Structure 1
Amino acid sequence: MLQLGTLDDLPSDYRDALTRQHLVPLWPSLRKVLPPGKPIPQTRPAYWSYEALRPLLMQAGELTPMEKAERRVLVLANPGHGLEKMQASAAIYLGMQLLLPGEWAPAHRHTPNAVRMIVEGEGAYTTVDGEKCLMQRGDLILTPTGLWHEHGHDGSEPVVWLDVLDLPLVHYLETSYVQEGPPQKVSQQGQERAYRSGGVVPAPLFVRSRQPYPMLRYPWSEVRQSLLGLAQSQPAGEAVQLAYINPESGSDCQNILGYSALMLRPGESLRLPARSPAAVLHLIEGSSSVETAQAQFTLAEADTCCVPGYSAVQLRNRSTSQPAFFFIADESPLHRKLGLYEVRGED
C-alpha cells in the first residue's frame, strides 16, 4: 500500500498559502474519506432503555408545557456522532415524544420524512393531510415530507411514541425547514381499511395512485397477525419479516428510510448479515438480545438500539414460550437509490 504524504511534509509557508486561497491538499486526508476495503462509520452500537428514559420524559411533561415545546421530545442521540448533532446514524434521527391528556401539538409541515411508532397509551391521534390516524401501541403512522400534520389527545393517560426521521440527511443537504399552519380539518379517517387484504387495492388503480402516500397508518394488530401467519410457513432459521410498503406500487413506504417488522419465535436465534446501511431496532413485544462484533444489548419491551452499517447482527429471543416482535428502521432505500447497497457474508 502506498505511504501517503502528511501535512508535516509540506513547508509551513506553502500550507499558509493554501489556506489563504481556501485550498486543502487531498493526499494527507485521503484515507480518512476513502479507507481501504471497508468504511469506518461514526455510528456506534447504542442502546436506550425505555425504563430509564420514561421517567425523564414524564418529567419533561411537568417542566415544559406544550406551548413552550411545540413537540415535547427527548432525542436518542448516538455518541459516535456527538450528542449535539442529535442523530442515531448518518441518516436516522430518533426521538421519544410525549403527549399528555388534553394536549394538542399544533399543525406544521417539514421537509424531512417522519414516522411514528406508538410505544404506549391510547386516546391520541395524528391528523395527516386531513386524515385522522388513531394511535395504538405498535401502530406505524407516516408523516411524509411536505404534508401537514398535528397531534391531539382525547384520552386519560400519557401517550408516547418513537419518532423516526431522515432529518440528518435532509439537514446535511441544507434542505431542512418547517412551516407552521392552522388546525387541520378532518376529511377522512381510517383510510388504511381500504388496503387490509393483501394483493388487492381499490379500483380503478390510476385514481388511487395520484396519492404518493395512499396509506398513512399501519395498524399493529394486523401486522402482528400477518407475522404469526408467516411464521407458520417460513422455514426455521429464515427471517419472519414484513416490510412496510406503499400498497399500490409495492415500493418502500417512504423515499429515504425503510421500515419493517420482524418476529422471533420462542427461543429462536437469527443472524442478520452485514449490510451497508445502519439500522435501528425497537422491541415492540417480548425480550431479546442484540449482538454485534462491538457490543451486546439486552432489550425489554419498548427498548431501542442502533447498529452501524457493515456489521452482522445476532438476534435472540430470550423467552422460550413467547414470541418477540421488532420494529426496524434502516437506510436501505437511500443506499439502493445511490447504488451503495451491499451485503457481506462476514464482518
Structure 2
Amino acid sequence: MTSTDVPTTDEGAYADLAGLAAAPLWRQYGDLMPAQPVSPAVAHLWPYARLRPLALHFSTALSIAEAERRVLMLVNPGLTDPPATVNTLFAGIQIIMPGETARTHRHSANAFRFIIEGDGAVTTVNGERLRMHPGDLLLTPGWHWHDHAHDGDTPMMWLDGLDYPLVNSLHAGFFEIYDHPAPPPRTPDELSTRQFMHGRLNPTWLTPDTEHPKVSPVGNYPWAETERALAAIADDAQGSAAEGILLEYTNPWTGGPVLPTIGARIARLRAGFTGLPRRHTASTIYHVVSGSGATTVGDTRLDWSERDIFCVPGWAQYSHQVPPGSDATLFSYTDEPVLRTLGLYREQWL
C-alpha cells in the first residue's frame, strides 16, 4: 500500500496497522486505562512450619556453591512468570548452615534481610561486618558488595526482601560476582549501627552519600532497639485504626524510608484488635514475628501464626484481626516509597 492508498474495509485497515507495528487505542482503553487498579497478584499465605523442613532438606541436598544462595522463593500464584511475591517486590526464605560462606556478589536490586532464627552468622556489606540476631533488619542497598558467613552451631534462616521485580520491569538490573577471595572488612564491625542508633543524635562528621542519598547509612536495625521502641508506647499510644501501633524504620538523614524503593515497618497489634478495612495502591508483604491472628483480603481470609509470611496486593481491601489473649507483632515491607515518589499513592478507608 502506498501513502495515497486508502483501505476500503475496516478489516483491511486493521491489518495494515498491524503490519506497521501500530494499533488502534480505542480497542484497548479498558486494558490500558482501567477504572481502578487490578493487580494480577492475589492474597496468599506461606506457612513457615511447612517451608522450614524443605529449607533444611536443601541445606544438605544442595551445596551453597551449587546454589549461590539457598533461597526458597515465595511465588504469588498470580505472578509465576516471571516469579514475584507482589508486583514490585520479592520475598524468600534463605538458609545458611554452620561453617558455610556465601560468596560475595552485588546486584542493582535493593535488598534487606529480616532474621527469623539462628545465631552466629555474619553478613558483610561494603566492608562492614554485621552480626545477625532474630528480629534484626539488615540492609543491602543496590550495588553494594555483600556476602554471608556462619560460624554458629545451628541453621540460620531469614526473610529476604528485594525489589528485583521492579528493577527487572524497568530493564535496569545488573549482577556481578566478586571473582576474588572475599575482601577484608574496611570498618569496625557494626559501626554504622553504633553511630546512628541513638534516636535524634547523629554524628556531625558524616554526610549523606551523594551517590545514594536516599539509602539509609544504618547497616543493622537491631531487634533489641525495635522491641524497646514498641514496649515504650504499645500500651498507651492510640496507633493506627488499620495497622495498630505501627512504626517505620527510617533513614536518619532524611527521616524517610530506609531504601528508595522499599519501606519497612513493625507493628504491635494488641490482643482483641480489629482493624478498620482499607485499601491503598501500595503492595505489602507481612512477616509474623510473634502471635497469631487473621487478615481478610477481599473475600480471602488468611489465618496466620508465628513466622508465617503473607501478602496484600495493591488496591485490595484488607483488615487485620487478633484474638483476645495475647498481642501479635508484624514486620512488613511495601513499595509505597515508589508510589509516593511518582505521585501514584492513594488510599481509601472502607
Paired residues for 1:298-309 under 5 Å: 298-309=303-314
Contact 1:127 1:184 in 2 (8 A): no
- Confirm or deny that 1:332 pairs with 2:333: no
* Cα gap change, 1:250 to 1:68, in 2 (>3 Å): same
- Confirm or deny that 1:197 pairs with 2:195: no
| Distance in structure 2 (CA, Å) of the matches to 1:159 and 1:145 | 23
SS in 2 for 1:270: coil
Residue matched to 2:267:
262
Superimposed CA distance per residue, residues 295-336 of structure 1 (whole angstroms, 9 cap, x where no aligned partner): 11111111000111122321122351x321111111110000
TM-superposed CA distance for 1:24, in Å, is: 2.0
Residue matched to 2:47:
49
Aligned partner (choices 79, 87, 94) of residue 97 of structure 1? 94
Q: Which moved more, 1:297-306 or 1:286-295?
A: 286-295
**Structure 1 residue identity aligned to 2:208:** S
| Distance in structure 1 (CA, Å) of the matches to 2:66 and 2:240 | 49
Q: Which moved more, 1:244-253 or 1:326-335?
A: 244-253
Residue matched to 2:63:
65
TM-superposed CA distance for 1:44, in Å, is: 0.7
SS in 1 for 2:302: strand
* Cα gap change, 1:262 to 1:237, in 2 (>3 Å): closer
TM-superposed CA distance for 1:15, in Å, is: 3.3
Residue matched to 1:15:
14
Contact 1:276 1:341 in 2 (8 A): yes
| Distance in structure 1 (CA, Å) of the matches to 2:324 and 2:51 | 24
Contact 2:240 2:246 in 1 (8 A): no
TM-superposed CA distance for 1:256, in Å, is: 0.7
Residue matched to 1:341:
345
Residue matched to 2:184:
185
- Confirm or deny that 1:74 pairs with 2:72: yes
**Structure 1 residue identity aligned to 2:196:** Y
Identity over aligned pairs, percent: 31
Gaps of 5+ in 1: 1-9
Gaps of 5+ in 2: 1-8
Aligned partner (choices 84, 88, 91) of residue 85 of structure 2? 88
- Confirm or deny that 1:234 pairs with 2:237: yes
SS in 2 for 1:77: coil
Contact 1:234 1:240 in 2 (8 A): yes
Q: TM-score, normalised by structure 1?
A: 0.91
Contact 2:294 2:303 in 1 (8 A): yes
TM-superposed CA distance for 1:158, in Å, is: 0.7
SS in 2 for 1:164: strand
**Structure 2 residue identity aligned to 1:154:** D
- Confirm or deny that 1:108 pairs with 2:98: no
- The alignment covers a number of residue pairs equal to 332
| Distance in structure 2 (CA, Å) of the matches to 1:227 and 1:138 | 13
Residue matched to 1:216:
219
TM-superposed CA distance for 1:175, in Å, is: 1.0
SS in 2 for 1:233: coil
**Structure 1 residue identity aligned to 2:32:** V
Aligned partner (choices 324, 327, 335) of residue 323 of structure 1? 327
| Distance in structure 2 (CA, Å) of the matches to 1:319 and 1:300 | 14
Residue matched to 2:3:
none
Q: TM-score, normalised by structure 2?
A: 0.90
Aligned partner (choices 263, 277, 281) of residue 276 of structure 1? 281
TM-superposed CA distance for 1:65, in Å, is: 0.7
| Distance in structure 2 (CA, Å) of the matches to 1:253 and 1:42 | 27
Contact 1:286 1:319 in 2 (8 A): no
Residue matched to 1:286:
291
Residue matched to 2:251:
246
Aligned partner (choices 172, 175, 182) of residue 175 of structure 1? 172
SS in 2 for 1:59: helix
TM-superposed CA distance for 1:142, in Å, is: 0.4
- Confirm or deny that 1:31 pairs with 2:30: yes
TM-superposed CA distance for 1:210, in Å, is: 3.6
SS in 1 for 2:167: helix
* Cα gap change, 1:184 to 1:294, in 2 (>3 Å): farther
TM-superposed CA distance for 1:272, in Å, is: 5.5
| Distance in structure 2 (CA, Å) of the matches to 1:127 and 1:237 | 36
**Structure 1 residue identity aligned to 2:347:** V
Contact 2:190 2:219 in 1 (8 A): no
SS in 2 for 1:109: strand
Contact 1:45 1:294 in 2 (8 A): no
- Confirm or deny that 1:139 pairs with 2:136: yes
| Distance in structure 2 (CA, Å) of the matches to 1:62 and 1:271 | 45
